[in-house]
Homo-oligomer: A and B are copies of this chain.
Amino acid sequence: MPTAKLTKSVEALSALAHESRLAIFRLLVRTGPEGMAAGDIARKLDILPNTLSASLTVLGNAGLVASRRDGRSIIYSADYARMTGLLEFLMEDCCNGDAAICAPLAAIANKAACC
């Protein structure tokens, strides 16, 4: 009987385990909280609108992106809290008391905390 957190993480990982979907998610992460219209994502990544819609649905079901309507467009944005939660789960207890293992992770964080 797997934990709920494990199951949720598998959902998120499955959503990201796809070339287009990972590219979409990363684009939204880089875009920031203001998000981007579905059409703009489609043009930028050269993805068919129906395929993009399916991909965004998968990412949305996994809780990785949120959406809101703005006129004719639907704006998608990354859910940063969800991403953070997933990363936290993957890192959990990773260092196991060994500083040599921790160090690179700390380095990532310092880089992330650049601003």
Q: Which residues of A contact B (CB under 8 A)?
A: 2, 6-7, 9-10, 13-14, 16-19, 22-23, 26, 29-33, 80-81, 83-84, 87-88, 90-99, 101-106, 108-115
Contact = CB atoms under 8 A, between A and B. Distances in A.
Instruction: For the complex of A and B, list the 9 residue pairs with the smallest distance between their C-beta atoms, beginning with the closest.
Output: A109-B109, A106-B113, A13-B17, A14-B17, A105-B112, A17-B17, A84-B104, A32-B96, A30-B93
B96 A112 contact: no
| Identical chains bound together, number | 2
Contacts of A31: 96
B13 A16 contact: yes
Given A26-B90, A87-B87, 19 more contacts: A2-B23, A6-B23, A10-B16, A13-B13, A13-B16, A14-B17, A16-B90, A30-B92, A30-B94, A83-B90, A87-B90, A87-B105, A88-B111, A94-B112, A95-B114, A102-B113, A105-B112, A106-B109, A106-B112
